[in-house]
Structure 1
Amino acid sequence: MRKTVSGVELMTLYQSLADRLQVLIRDQVYPVGSRLPGVRVLAEQQQVSVSTAVNACRELEQRGVLEARPRSGYYVRQPPVVREAPRVTTASRRPRRITGQERVLQILQSVNNPSVVNLGAAVPAPEYMPVATMERMFHSVLREERRRCVGYAFPPGAPELCTQVARRLAGLQCEVSPEDVLITNSCQESVAIALKLTTQPGDTVAIESPTYYGLLQVIDSLGLKALEIPTDPVEGISLEALTLALERWKVSACVVVSNFSNPLGVRLSDARKQALLALLSKHKVPLVEDDIYGDLPLSGPRPRPVKSWDKNGLVYYCSSSSKTLSAGLRVGWLVAPERHREKAQHLQFINTVSVATPSQLVLARYLERGHYDRFLRQLCAEHARGVVRMTERVTQLFPQQTRVSRPAGGFVLWVELPGEVDTTELMEKALEAGVSFAPGSLFSASGKFANCLRLNCAVKWDNRVEQALVTLSRLL
């Protein structure tokens, strides 16, 4: 408990210092291009520890206010031109079947094509992953646990991994025991199992709009209908529109990415999370919470999931390691209410029998040895720089009326183009030119957002990426 309390105090202190420094930068005490005092001098001036000064500078680097120059220090960056955020669409008139998802696989396949620059699929480049550490973990697991590695780890999964997941959720104030955790092959499989537990074919599911196209495909595969709820790029899903939808339609489940939604990158505030839970509780509608991006804030602490306020077993919590450690591990998890624990395990067994044992043991060992939190600090800083860099280039290269999201976390950018641009047609031309992106219509059950696109910022930034963005801007 002491570590947690002191951690919170330290976090508050460095964020407070970062805020004070940002005011000094705004007031031209430190003008654009100037170098901040070294961290030891800064710590002495501000009467804080050196570690607090370092964390404050890193925080400002993540905000795009400072840039770190090797062996030189921190310098004040030129503020980027701020574009307007994308507009909020109108609510759906009725639940509907999913359409227009035929091109998803084409985008995903481009990831494995070395001649195509991947700005489409939300798959981090290998440079963002702890490849060397994971390799060592695999070697040690295969050497020390060879008998287990050649067998099945039947549902609910490897006990040590269930324990590690439960411990991390406990740190987020969730009342979860290892027995509550089911290991799955992905967050998407977790969501699919949760929907099977809460719906029947023909039922209606309330979703954010825009939303991740993988969710739309799951809904379609289960014979469900989607009810699109307008989602603000700053505040998140419209609780007002959701209230009206729940009063008008029979909704069997609601799926929300509570932290850093895909594609908008918006984080629901704690107050809105609690209001969402209260609203769904009132109407007895289960919440399937996708928290796959929750560990990736671009600044500040890791936010709590809605699950942390759930006292009545309404929330089905889903996540995975795909966006942080390795998509290739194929390890996710689901925390379902106790009444559905055994059925969830049965559904996972029917789907794939079990999750690969070596992957489960490697992830458990990685979490147990304390590597994860240290790695996340570095990873979040890298993603923050990537998002700032992509935003600046889009602002410079794309038409002046282009609107750009301001993600609070994750590593994707949502771009709304002016005029009558059809990004589905644009994608075909871009692929021919060796550039992939995700057209906006894929993020809607009804083909909305035709003039929008999503860009992956977690790329190895080099001349190929620069040229890809130039090529894309010329095709507009």
Structure 2
Amino acid sequence: MSRYEQLALQLQEQISSGVWQAGDKLPSLRETVRRSGLSLMTVFNAYQLLESQGWVRSRPQSGYFVVPVLQAAHYSLPLQPLQPAETVDINAFIFNVLQAGNNSDCVALGSAFPDPSLFPQHQLSRSLIRVARQLSSANTDVSLPPGCADLRRSIAQRYAAKGMEISPDEIVITSGALEALNLSLQALTQPGDWVVVESPAFYGALQAIERHHLKTVAVATDPQRGMDLDALAQALQQYPIKACWLMSHCQNPLGASMSTAHKQQLLALLTEHGVSLIEDDVYGELYAGLVTPLPVKAWDNTGQVLHCGSFSKTLATGFRIGWVAAGQQAQAIQRLQLMSTLSTSTPMQLALADYLSAHHYDKHLHTLRRTLEQRKHIFYRAIKREFPDVVRVHYAEGSYFLWLELPTDCCATELYWRALKAGITIAPGRMFAAGEQYRHCFRLNVSLPWNTVSEAAIKQLATLIDGQLALV
């Protein structure tokens, strides 16, 4: 074994024994050289080896940090890899949960949105002011589909920076990603059709399926790898599937991000069966690491992938601006939009186009991703420290969610109501499935700043969980 491999093994053992914990910064290269007596190149190779094996992650100009130990191997996959449902009836439950937790005084660990203080409010305000000063009767008219040309060009340029050729003409601006996703689903299906979703799934997908009177097959999804492709193949064989709706990056609620190979295999499988993909990629810009992952749309040569994005999770929640790169479905989606919402807010579209033209967005995203990663590490460590050992915490790289499992005889919905009385919200697992299979799970938003309030909330949740465990 070479010297750098010996050093890497020594550091691995220290991480495994708890000397270095998730989120900790390892000693600098030069400090390790001084302590070990090894050459700088030997230490550098050891750190590089640790990073390639997934033990640490480097941050530019910051050093090497320990990556949280993942627990995908312990995930309780559904007993049935496929969960078909001819009817979905979940909107009333979701409405009640979201309305009950709609209190600004609560610690919003159940929120679907990142901490709004992380957004560039002042820069966005300046863009709005500039746009307001330039408004005239010519550009205050309703911006009919497909939406503001400047904004569509800016989005197309961001695709081009990833090596993707997406014309502004196939991009339709929508009132948030949820409208983009609903319109895409409506363009591809008729009432009574079968649609594939993830299990667990983003509750907005389930609400859309209920609204459009569709049937669904939920396919088992892993917190690290994403949708089970063997189970998907089985669904495509057994049911007349018309569309597949999934998140390829930082899946909500699990956090899973698909590998490149997984995305390509998924697309090949759907292509073989002639099934269109609605790719919900609202968290795509919140990836971890230095390499920008490509969406499934990057390998789409037939126009069967409708790629949906949004600025709500990365830039401006209240602007409610999303889009769909719809390919051959662009005209159909524009017609559907004209019959429903008519158009998306013109001033908001112009303000975002102004902001993007100033080239601040990538700098903001870099800072946002790093802050979210740091906060996620802090919350993860606190939860592992405070929560009972029987609670499984699933950590996936990127975004700002943690997925937690209580023992199967516990009910996370009961925990939700008890936490709400204590001024804390969580997202119970019942929100993410048509049935009861995730009743013992819940999702936490860990984008909040770590302070006395958030620390007290985590300790209070731990106390509530202890109390619930004592009753089962």
User: Which interval holds the TM-score relative to the shorter structure?
Assistant: 0.7 to 0.9
Deviation at 1:63, TM superposition (A): 8.2
Relative to structure 1, the CA distance from residue 166 to residue 332 in structure 2 (aligned partners, 3 Å threshold; closer, same or farther) is: same
Equivalences for 1:32-111 in 2 at 5 Å?
Answer: 32=20, 35-36=27-28, 83=71, 85-89=74-78, 90-109=80-99
Equivalences for 1:392-403 in 2 at 5 Å?
Answer: 392-403=381-392
For 2:69 and 2:330, the matched residues in 1 are separated by 50
Report the 3-state secondary structure (helix = DSSP H, G, I; strand = E; otherwise coil) of the residue aligned with 1:292.
coil
Deviation at 1:135, TM superposition (A): 1.1
Pair 1:371 & 2:360 matched: yes
Relative to structure 1, the CA distance from residue 22 to residue 320 in structure 2 (aligned partners, 3 Å threshold; closer, same or farther) is: farther
Deviations 1:72-92 (A, max 9, x none): x96877886765653221223
Deviation at 1:67, TM superposition (A): 9.8
The answer (yes or no) to whether the contact 2:248–2:279 under 8 Å persists in 1 is yes
Report the 3-state secondary structure (helix = DSSP H, G, I; strand = E; otherwise coil) of the residue aligned with 1:94.
strand
Deviation at 1:179, TM superposition (A): 0.6
TM-score scaled by length of structure 2: 0.85
Deviations 1:47-79 (A, max 9, x none): 8xxxx9xxx9xx99x9876899xxxx9687788
For 2:9 and 2:227, the matched residues in 1 are separated by 31
Query: Which residue among 301, 312, 323 is the counterpart of 1:311?
Result: 301
Report the 3-state secondary structure (helix = DSSP H, G, I; strand = E; otherwise coil) of the residue aligned with 1:317.
strand
Relative to structure 1, the CA distance from residue 78 to residue 282 in structure 2 (aligned partners, 3 Å threshold; closer, same or farther) is: closer
The answer (yes or no) to whether the contact 1:63–1:298 under 8 Å persists in 2 is no
Deviation at 1:24, TM superposition (A): 8.1
For 2:393 and 2:212, the matched residues in 1 are separated by 33
For 1:177 and 1:133, the matched residues in 2 are separated by 28
Deviation at 1:224, TM superposition (A): 0.7
Equivalences for 1:15-26 in 2 at 5 Å?
Answer: 25-26=11-12
Deviation at 1:298, TM superposition (A): 2.1
Report the 3-state secondary structure (helix = DSSP H, G, I; strand = E; otherwise coil) of the residue aligned with 2:198.
strand
Pair 1:154 & 2:144 matched: yes
Deviation at 1:109, TM superposition (A): 3.9
Query: Which residue among 422, 425, 428 is the counterpart of 2:417?
Result: 428
The one-letter amino acid paired with 2:258 is L
Query: Which residue among 202, 211, 227 is the counterpart of 1:237?
Result: 227
Equivalences for 1:281-296 in 2 at 5 Å?
Answer: 281-296=271-286
The one-letter amino acid paired with 1:333 is W
The one-letter amino acid paired with 1:155 is P
Relative to structure 1, the CA distance from residue 196 to residue 424 in structure 2 (aligned partners, 3 Å threshold; closer, same or farther) is: same
1:6: which partner in 2? none
The one-letter amino acid paired with 1:201 is P
2:203: which partner in 1? 213
The answer (yes or no) to whether the contact 1:157–1:182 under 8 Å persists in 2 is yes
Relative to structure 1, the CA distance from residue 293 to residue 20 in structure 2 (aligned partners, 3 Å threshold; closer, same or farther) is: farther
2:119: which partner in 1? 129
Relative to structure 1, the CA distance from residue 186 to residue 74 in structure 2 (aligned partners, 3 Å threshold; closer, same or farther) is: closer
Between stretches 309-318 and 147-156, larger displacement belongs to 147-156
Deviation at 1:271, TM superposition (A): 0.8
The answer (yes or no) to whether the contact 2:70–2:394 under 8 Å persists in 1 is no
Relative to structure 1, the CA distance from residue 109 to residue 128 in structure 2 (aligned partners, 3 Å threshold; closer, same or farther) is: farther
1:188: which partner in 2? 178
Deviation at 1:217, TM superposition (A): 0.4
Between stretches 433-442 and 416-425, larger displacement belongs to 416-425
Pair 1:444 & 2:436 matched: no
Pair 1:381 & 2:367 matched: no
1:467: which partner in 2? 456
Relative to structure 1, the CA distance from residue 312 to residue 393 in structure 2 (aligned partners, 3 Å threshold; closer, same or farther) is: same
Deviation at 1:371, TM superposition (A): 0.7
For 1:20 and 1:326, the matched residues in 2 are separated by 48
Report the 3-state secondary structure (helix = DSSP H, G, I; strand = E; otherwise coil) of the residue aligned with 2:279.
strand
Deviations 1:393-414 (A, max 9, x none): 2111112022122212211111
For 2:263 and 2:7, the matched residues in 1 are separated by 31
1:114: which partner in 2? 104
Report the 3-state secondary structure (helix = DSSP H, G, I; strand = E; otherwise coil) of the residue aligned with 1:88.
coil
Deviation at 1:152, TM superposition (A): 1.5
Relative to structure 1, the CA distance from residue 177 to residue 417 in structure 2 (aligned partners, 3 Å threshold; closer, same or farther) is: same
- Paired residue total: 439
Deviation at 1:309, TM superposition (A): 0.4
For 1:434 and 1:345, the matched residues in 2 are separated by 42
Query: Which residue among 349, 361, 385 is the counterpart of 2:350?
Result: 361
The answer (yes or no) to whether the contact 1:154–1:353 under 8 Å persists in 2 is yes
Deviation at 1:282, TM superposition (A): 0.7
For 2:244 and 2:278, the matched residues in 1 are separated by 6
Deviations 1:351-406 (A, max 9, x none): 21111111111111222221111111100001111211121121111120221222
Deviations 1:252-304 (A, max 9, x none): 11011011111111111111111111111111111111111110112231210
Report the 3-state secondary structure (helix = DSSP H, G, I; strand = E; otherwise coil) of the residue aligned with 1:151.
coil
The one-letter amino acid paired with 1:36 is S
1:10: which partner in 2? none
TM-score scaled by length of structure 1: 0.85
2:406: which partner in 1? 417
Deviation at 1:178, TM superposition (A): 0.7
The answer (yes or no) to whether the contact 2:378–2:450 under 8 Å persists in 1 is no
Cα RMSD of the aligned pairs, angstroms, is 3.0
Report the 3-state secondary structure (helix = DSSP H, G, I; strand = E; otherwise coil) of the residue aligned with 2:265.
helix
Report the 3-state secondary structure (helix = DSSP H, G, I; strand = E; otherwise coil) of the residue aligned with 2:195.
strand
The answer (yes or no) to whether the contact 1:172–1:305 under 8 Å persists in 2 is no
For 2:66 and 2:325, the matched residues in 1 are separated by 45
Report the 3-state secondary structure (helix = DSSP H, G, I; strand = E; otherwise coil) of the residue aligned with 1:287.
strand
Q: Between the two proteins, what is the percent identity of the paired residues?
A: 35
For 1:226 and 1:181, the matched residues in 2 are separated by 27
The one-letter amino acid paired with 1:252 is K
